[in-house]
Structure 1
Amino acid sequence: MNNHPVLNRLDTESVGKSFVRYLIPSIVGMMLMAVNIVIDGIMVGNRLGSVALAGVGIAVPVYTIFVATSLWIGIGAATKYSIEMGAKRTEEARIVFSNAITSIFIVTLIIAIVAYINQIKLAYALGANSDTYVYVADYMSIMLIFGFIFTIENVFSVMVRNDGGPNLSMVALVITSLVNIALNYIFLFKLDYGVKGAAAATVIGAAIGIVILSMHFFKKESNLRFVRFKFDYKLLATLLVIGFPSFLSEVGFSVFTISHNVTFKYLAGTDGVSAFAVLNYVHSVMLLLFLGMGGAIQPLISYYYGAKDNHKMTVTLRLAIWTSLGAGILFFFIGLNASGPMVDLFGNFPSEVRAIAIPGIKLFFIAYLFMGINFVMMTYYQSIGQIRMAIWITSAREIILLLIILAILPRIFGLNGVWLAIPLSEFIVLITIIYYQKARD
């Protein structure tokens, strides 16, 4: 393996070309991952029914917590790594990578052990009831035992992309998704393993993703290396601060899921939870596409920031904002015109479930007009070290403002108030971003 630094293409390549080179693999990879999530839901819903689908939806935050933890350290490490590489400090960048991998493995094991010991209490805290508990428990147990696989795969994917390997990250996501889809079909429809089979398929797909991503370390153009290091608590603290907005973003998704599950259970029972489960699968698709846009600009912004190239940073940000706005408008019109077919994809649900889900999707999709820009700006602030603003965006949109709005709107508008909580939250956050930017200028 090569132990010498390799010239980075970002030093000589145009901003537009670099943006497209990172954007397309990131979007394609996330699209395949999104399709994977949707097909998971379609298979579970069609094979096991709406109650099983609701149970898996309730258990999803367990998976999300592992992803959140990996991104907390992983995005922090990737951002610091790219800044160091932009400043031509290759050895320091490799120490960042080595510290990050070791830290995430240890942290993941601790989380898994604590959660597994308390999994019954955890299941009911997430919104399980007598109907859904068995499905929640089956899915959750697999996720807790093998959670470290998801965290290692996520960190590898982020670091490889920041080391100039966006195409390999995409290939890993594509193959992971295809393996998961194939195994879901086998485990659910052929072997009748139930929701445990769906969880196992996800784990096996992630493990194969790790193997594929590991190929990057043997490429000549790779700068990523494991090196000897002394565990640096100060460095870890720095990574945790930088990566905290990404952690909050994933935790926010868990808060969003749990708060909506609990609210729908209170207002509409299992039918409401099933309707939300459908929306949540669809929302995961849109969310991943926006994350793909953020994932595309993070390596670029961090590298240009380290290289002190403000012009390239500005051009990259503008390209990302316009791209996310166009995507948001497209998603909004899809929601308006295809909410019925979306629900039908996940199974032949009772009319009560459809009556809640179809109008709900139309209302919820208003959020996508603002969400993409919020994601891009959060990534931008995080990548240049303005962590407080990045934290505000992530904490406000799916935690602080969401919970306040969710406590008020349903009392006034009923179920429609629940669906409108996220759109209103995203809109308010966007207004604060505009105000902040004007104050800076």
Structure 2
Amino acid sequence: MTGMKELKKELAKYIAANVCGMIGLSCYILADTFFIANAIGANGLTALNLALPIYSMVHGSGLMLGMGGATRFSIARGQNQQRMADQIFSQTVILYGIFGVIFVLSGLFLSATFAGWLGANTEVFEMTRVYLQVILFFSPAFMLNDIFVCFVRNDGAPRRAMCAMLLGSFSNIVLDYIFMYPLHMGIFGAVLATGCAPIVGIWASHGHWKKKDCGFHFRRTRPEGKIFRGILALGVPSLITELASGVVMFVFNLLILNLEGNTGVAAYGVVANLAYVVTAIHTGIAQGTQPLISREYGRQKEDHMKKLLELAMLVMAISSVLIYLIFYLGADPLTAAFNSEGSQTLQKIAVHGMRLYFTGIWFAGFNIILAVYFMAQERAVPAQILSLARGFFVIVPVAVILAKGFGMTGVWISYAAAEGIVAILGVILYKKKNGFPKKAASGII
């Protein structure tokens, strides 16, 4: 049996590997932001920012399938049910195929419609449409990469999962430079580089599948609605966590367009893309604890589960302090790195916004970790409530109300205000749902 000392060592290994990998994954878009800002300018940055909610949808769907399937897989393995573990992986792949077809068809026929819905005006419409179409075309690669990373990590190979994410990110940076500078491919080059990156990640992680001790295998099977529902129920919080970024971005884009126009949206793009990195760190901490919590849940070790949650929250709190100090003290040079045209308006808006917006990172980290904690032990309802609250039901009205009352300052502080409200809800849910169920994995296993 795993003692507390060994559990801490395992947690450190999983969190370190997963945070590094998630930072690499978040750099897909951060690299695009940097190269587009410097090669195309503010309009390119605005187009990218308008298109990012769709990327959040694609990436969130991949994490929904990967996290939902891998959580079920970990519980099955913890109970020594290998046949069920293989069945869960196979059903996850079937779901992946369904989602992939939907996204590709949407890209072929609806990319212009999406660009209009997202608020693209005549100056940035075509760039936004191109970015959306290519991202949706490559959506099967993004989702399969997410699925492989989740299953490989939950199969006891967090370092391989980390390497897959980092290699994909590194290839994106290299291809961004090649496509946008020597080849002068513009925004199409940026999104093409982003689309190719997960293919590199898939190549890096698929070797685990060939190992003799690989714990998951694809077996020919019919779709099973009960397993589908179980995977989706546990994966929805991961989808909502990603969609939260997209929804916040969409709402903020519309509010800022009315307040400061395209320059304001470009300034918000700087802050929002740095926020992707912060969310990736928090998500990395949360997902690093998930395989261990699910395993201990299968073993009925409640004290171990609570200790893992406490340690994850401690790591999050310390890292959040360091992150905020970096953004507060380095707001000027960080903004300047994405402000190739030297716009004083953009610089002023982004620097002011960065220092206000990131006051909410402690609350956001708390909410992300707590939602994954619920999900890891098959408590889908509180996980979904928490995720929906932070992604939709709180942030939207708070942002609208504060923007109306305080203008741009209201927009920036709405993130912290909304996450703080949701954190209070999270504490209430934790206290109400803290009883340990008599039988683990009661859903499909």
Which range, TM-score by smaller chain? over 0.9
Q: TM-score by structure 2 length?
A: 0.94
Q: Shift of the alpha carbon at 1:312? A: 1.6
8 Å contact from structure 1 (residues 364, 419) kept in 2: yes
Deviation at 1:431, TM superposition (A): 1.3
Q: Deviations over 1:221-265 (max 9, x none)?
A: 321111232321111011111111111112222111111111111
Answering whether residue 253 of structure 2 is matched by residue 277 of structure 1, we say: no
1:48 is aligned, of 28, 31, 40, to 40
Q: Match of 1:27?
A: 19
Aligned to 1:3: none
Give 1:14 deviation, angstroms: 1.4
1:389 aligned to 382, 393, 401, which one? 382
CA distance in 1, matches of 2:26, 2:223: 36
Q: TM-score, normalised by structure 1?
A: 0.95
State the match for 2:115 in structure 1.
Answer: 123
Q: Is the 8 A contact 1:41 1:346 kept in 2?
A: yes
CA spacing shift, 1:157–1:11, aligned 2, 3 Å: farther
Q: Alpha carbons of 1:31 and 1:247: their partners in 2 closer, same or farther (altered >3 Å)? A: closer
Asked if structure 1 preserves the Cα contact closer than 8 Å seen for 2:103 and 2:137, the reply is: no
State which of 366, 372, 376 in structure 2 corresponds to 1:373. Answer: 366
Q: Which of 414, 424, 441 is 2:417 aligned to?
A: 424
Q: Distance in 2 between matches of 1:211 and 1:224?
A: 17
Cα distance in structure 2, aligned partners of 1:11 and 1:117: 55
Q: 1:340 aligns with which of 325, 332, 341?
A: 332
Segment of structure 1 superposing worse, 165-174 or 342-351: 342-351
Alignment partner, residue 326 of structure 1: 318
Residue 111 (structure 1) aligned with residue 118 (structure 2)? no
Q: Is the 8 A contact 2:270 2:338 kept in 1?
A: yes
Distance 2:177 2:433 in 1: 52
Equivalent residue letter for 1:95: Q
Correspondence for 1:88 among 72, 80, 86 = 80
1:188 aligns with 2:180: yes
SS at match of 2:271: helix
Q: Does 1:139 align with 2:131?
A: yes
Please give the alpha-carbon distance, in whole angstroms, between the structure 2 residues aligned to 1:47 and 1:433: 43
Secondary structure at 2:397's aligned position in 1? helix
Question: In the alignment, what sits opposite 1:311?
Answer: 303
CA offsets 1:303-358 (integer angstroms, 9 cap, x no match): 11112121221111111010111111222222221111110111333111112111
Distance 1:52 1:127, change over 3 A: same
Inter-partner Cα distance in structure 2 for 1:438 and 1:267: 41
2:3 and 2:299 mapped to 1: Cα distance? Answer: 9
TM-fit CA distance, 1:113: 0.7
1:259 counterpart = 2:215: no
| Alpha-carbon distance in structure 2 between the residues aligned to 1:225 and 1:167 | 20
Moved more, 388-397 or 26-35: 26-35
Contact 1:267 1:415 in 2 (8 A): yes
1:359 aligns to 2:334 (yes or no):
no
What amino acid maps onto 1:159 in structure 2?
F
Deviation at 1:11, TM superposition (A): 8.9
Helix, strand or coil at the partner of 1:153 = helix
Amino acid at match of 1:361: M
Deviations 1:20-59 (A, max 9, x none): 1111111111223334432321111011101101101111
Counterparts in 2 of 1:344 and 1:336: CA distance versus 1, 3 Å: same
1:58–1:126 CA contact under 8 A, matched in 2? yes
In 2: Cα distance, 1:12 partner to 1:367 partner? 32
Structure 1 stretches of 5 or more lacking a match?
Answer: 1-8
8 Å CA contact retained: 1:328, 1:371: no
Task: Give the stretch that moved more between structures: 254-263 or 218-227.
Answer: 218-227
Q: Aligned partners of 1:337, 1:344: CA distance in 2, in Å?
A: 13
> How large is the Cα RMSD of the aligned pairs?
1.6
Counterpart code for 1:333: L
- Mapped partners of 2:5, 2:220: distance in 1: 33
Of the structure 1 ranges 142-151 and 187-196, higher mean CA displacement relative to structure 2 is found in: 142-151
8 Å Cα contact 1:69/1:108 also seen in 2: no
SS at match of 1:14: helix
Kindly indicate whether the alpha-carbon contact (under 8 Å) linking 1:30 and 1:289 is maintained by their aligned counterparts in 2. yes
CA distance in 2, matches of 1:141, 1:364: 30
Q: 1:6 aligns to what?
A: none
Deviation of 1:438 after TM superposition, in Å, equals 3.8
Q: Could you tell me how far apart the structure 1 residues matched to 2:63 and 2:170 are?
A: 23
- 8 Å contact from structure 1 (residues 367, 422) kept in 2: yes
1:436 and 2:406 are equivalent in the alignment: no
1:158 to 150, 157, 164: 150
